[in-house]
């Protein structure tokens, strides 16, 4: 029994070993399969890594080529940008030169237009003066002829009166004639004096017009030169700049032909619609109770920097600052609202005394003038101001001529009325003289004519021996008298 158990145990052990052997072999096969699979996976992984390395190298090479291409494109872009910047600069310079050329053409055209206008005005004034001269000569001839004729008629009438009437009657009528002729002569002399004064004044104005234009042009050049010379001394001192601008403005006004305190006033207090009291630099009066306000504005600091700058960037910066300064002056002047003062025009003149500074601002910023005009501000330089003031002076000259013409017309009306009154008086005197003459002849006829007239009876008495040495005047003797 025990041997059976041992045998069973041994048999079981053998079976267990066999089973264990089979299991171990199976596990060994599985492990080998797993090892082979792992080895395969490792080989595949190694292949993948090699492939990845090759891809990475290829990618790196591609990236390097891409970076080289990018750098090449960047270099090309830099070159293109530089070329574009140069092209833009050239385009801007071309535009600036074009603007300067247009501005120069505009200035030249304006100057030619002003010269043409002045020449036309001169020609018109010469024609007008020639017409007035001919008219005055005709009037003078007519008045001289009228005066001679009147004097001749007066002399003839006076002589006839003196011959036909008694001395007392003649003296009385002479006094009446003198009383009539004396005011007439005075009016004729006054009218003649007025005509001669008007003619002399027109002649002087006509002959001095061209000289005045030349003087004004020379004065403008001189003022521009003086402005440039004073720039350094005045820059940075606003009060002195303002005073200097006012001096230039007054100098132009003094040489414009306008009369101070008659056609223009300096720093006169005015009142706007809002009730503010202001004191503009100049108020220029116009006919028909109108006026123009002129205010001087000087900006020298930025303009001086522009003139002194040697580099283009510094010049452009100074030019922009100069234009900004003018914009500020425009806004400040617009806020004063001079155009709301009673009687003024609907704009205010802003005077820039330095001609080159004015031209620089207009050339660099073509919108500047329109901006100022929209704010009822008219930018004006010495050249434009001289032309404008000449037009104002011409308006006043025409106004004075019209007033003189009205005065001449009034004098002529009074003279005509005096002549008509004198002729009426002379006609009345003629009627009275004729009536007196008729009465005289009638009385004489009653004395000497007819049967039994007084003269015949007196002659009969003398023939009968009347003692008298006096004789009856022969004209009073009867035609049929027989001595």
- Residue 330 sits in a domain of what CATH number? 3.40.1350
For residue 68, the number of C-alpha atoms closer than 13 Å in the C-beta half-sphere is 6
Tally of domains within the chain: 2
Instruction: Tell whether 364 and 444 lie within a shared domain.
Output: no
User: Residue 211 corresponds to which tokens in the numbers above?
Assistant: 């000289």
Bridge partners (DSSP) of residue 349 are 294, 378
3-class secondary-structure state, position 351: strand
Residue 206 within a domain: no
Last residue of a domain, one of 349, 380, 411: 380
pLDDT tier for residue 481 given thresholds of 50, 70 and 90: very low
Instruction: Tell whether 314 and 245 lie within a shared domain.
Output: yes
Torsion angles phi and psi, residue 41, rounded to 5:
-65, -40
Whether pLDDT at 85 is above 90: no
**Local structure of residue 260 (DSSP, 8 states):** B
Distances (CA, A) of 182 to 26, 84, 144, 308: 172, 95, 16, 77
205-232 pLDDT per residue, tens: 555 555 655 665 566 566 556 555 555 4
What pTM does this model have? 0.42
Instruction: Tell whether 263 and 357 lie within a shared domain.
Output: yes
Residue 152 within a domain: no
Distances (CA, A) of 119 to 52, 209, 213, 384, 391: 96, 10, 10, 17, 13
**Local structure of residue 309 (DSSP, 8 states):** -
3-class secondary-structure state, position 310: coil
DSSP letters spanning 3-18:
HHHHHHHHHHHHHHHH
What is the structure's pLDDT at 196? Answer: 59
Q: Residue 447: which domain range? A: 422-476
pLDDT tier for residue 82 given thresholds of 50, 70 and 90: low
Whether pLDDT at 16 is above 80: no
3-class secondary-structure state, position 284: strand
What is the structure's pLDDT at 211? Answer: 62
What is the structure's pLDDT at 351? Answer: 92
- How many other CB atoms are there within 10 angstroms of residue 369's CB atom? 14
The winner for highest mean pLDDT among 127-141, 145-159, 230-244, 341-355 is 341-355
28-61 pLDDT per residue, tens: 777 777 777 777 777 777 777 777 778 777 777 7
Residue 99 within a domain: no
Residue 157 within a domain: no
Q: Would you say 191 and 143 are in contact if contact means Cβ atoms under 8 Å apart?
A: yes
Instruction: Tell whether 362 and 466 lie within a shared domain.
Output: no
Residue 248 within a domain: yes
Residue 27 within a domain: no
Tokens 């008007």, located at residue: 198
- The helix or strand, by DSSP H or E, that contains position 379, with its residue range, turns out to be strand 377-380
The winner for highest mean pLDDT among 9-18, 82-91, 112-121, 187-196 is 9-18
Task: Name every residue whose Cβ is closer than 8 Å to that of residue 78 and which is 6 or more positions away in sequence.
Answer: none
pLDDT tier for residue 5 given thresholds of 50, 70 and 90: low
pLDDT tier for residue 174 given thresholds of 50, 70 and 90: low
Whether pLDDT at 65 is above 90: no
Residue, of 450 and 173, whose pLDDT is higher? 450
What is the structure's pLDDT at 374? Answer: 92
The mean per-residue pLDDT over the stretch 310-325 comes to: 88
What is the structure's pLDDT at 37? Answer: 74
Residue 6 within a domain: no
Angle at the Cα of 333 from the Cα atoms of 327 and 339, rounded to 5 degrees: 130
Instruction: Tell whether 310 and 437 lie within a shared domain.
Output: no
The winner for highest mean pLDDT among 172-186, 301-315, 366-380, 411-425 is 366-380
What end-to-end distance do the CA atoms of the chain give, in Å?
251
Torsion angles phi and psi, residue 144, rounded to 5:
-65, -45
Q: Would you say 392 and 263 are in contact if contact means Cβ atoms under 8 Å apart?
A: yes
Q: Would you say 350 and 379 are in contact if contact means Cβ atoms under 8 Å apart?
A: yes
Whether pLDDT at 483 is above 50: no
Where are the strands (E) in 195-261, listed by range? Answer: none
417-454 pLDDT per residue, tens: 776 676 677 777 777 777 777 776 677 676 667 776 77
3-class secondary-structure state, position 283: strand
Angle at the Cα of 189 from the Cα atoms of 184 and 195, rounded to 5 degrees: 125
Instruction: Tell whether 252 and 354 lie within a shared domain.
Output: yes
Q: Percent of the chain at pLDDT above 90? A: 7
Instruction: Tell whether 287 and 375 lie within a shared domain.
Output: yes
Residue 356 within a domain: yes
3-class secondary-structure state, position 264: strand
pLDDT tier for residue 376 given thresholds of 50, 70 and 90: very high
What is the structure's pLDDT at 296? Answer: 87
């Amino acid at each position: 029994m025990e041997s059976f158990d041992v045998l069973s145990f041994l048999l079981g052990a053998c079976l267990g070993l066999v089973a264990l052997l089979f299991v171990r072999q199976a596990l060994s096969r599985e492990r080998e399969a797993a090892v082979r699979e792992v080895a395969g996976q490792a080989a595949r992984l190694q292949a993948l890594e090699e492939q990845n390395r090759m891809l990475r190298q290829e990618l790196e090479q591609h990236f390097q080529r891409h970076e080289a291409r990018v750098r090449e494109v960047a270099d090309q872009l830099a070159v293109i940008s530089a070329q574009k910047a140069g092209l833009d600069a050239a385009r801007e310079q071309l535009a600036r030169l074009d603007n300067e050329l247009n501005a120069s053409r505009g200035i030249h055209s304006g100057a030619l237009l002003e010269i043409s206008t002045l020449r036309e005005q001169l020609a018109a004034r010469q024609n007008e003066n020639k017409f007035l001269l001919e008219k005055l000569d005709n009037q003078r001839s007519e008045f001289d002829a009228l005066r001679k004729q009147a004097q001749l008629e007066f002399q003839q009438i006076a002589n006839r009166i003196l011959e036909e009437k008694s001395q007392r009657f003649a003296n009385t009528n002479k006094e009446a004639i003198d009383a009539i002729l004396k005011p007439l002569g005075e009016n004729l002399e006054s009218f003649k004096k007025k005509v001669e004064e008007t003619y002399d004044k027109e002649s002087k104005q006509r002959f001095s017009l061209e000289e005045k234009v030349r003087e004004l042009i020379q004065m403008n050049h001189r003022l521009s030169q003086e402005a440039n010379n004073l720039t350094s001394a005045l820059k940075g001192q606003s009060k002195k700049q303002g005073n200097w601008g006012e001096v230039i403005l007054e100098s132009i006004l003094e040489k414009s032909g306008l009369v101070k305190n008659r056609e223009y006033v300096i720093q006169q207090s005015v009142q706007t619609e809002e009730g503010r009291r202001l004191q503009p630099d100049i108020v220029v009066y116009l006919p028909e109770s109108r006026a123009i306000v002129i205010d001087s504005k000087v900006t020298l600091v930025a303009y001086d920097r522009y003139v002194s700058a040697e580099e283009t960037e510094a010049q452009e910066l100074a030019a922009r600052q100069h234009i900004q300064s003018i914009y500020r002056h425009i806004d400040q002047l617009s806020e004063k609202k001079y155009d709301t003062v009673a009687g003024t025009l609907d704009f205010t003149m802003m005077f820039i005394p330095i001609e080159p500074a004015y031209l620089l601002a207009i050339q660099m910023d073509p919108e500047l003038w329109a901006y100022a005009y929209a704010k009822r501000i008219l930018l004006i330089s010495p050249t434009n101001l001289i032309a404008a003031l000449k037009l104002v002076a011409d308006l006043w000259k025409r106004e004075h001529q019209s007033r003189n013409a009205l005065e001449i017309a009034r004098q002529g009306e009074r003279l005509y009325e005096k002549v008509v009154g004198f002729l009426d008086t002379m006609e009345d005197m003629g009627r009275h003289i004729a009536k007196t003459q008729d009465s005289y002849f009638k009385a004489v006829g009653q004395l000497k004519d007819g049967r039994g007239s007084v003269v015949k009876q007196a002659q009969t008495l003398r023939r009968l021996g009347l003692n008298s040495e006096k004789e009856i005047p022969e004209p009073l003797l009867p035609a049929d008298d027989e001595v």
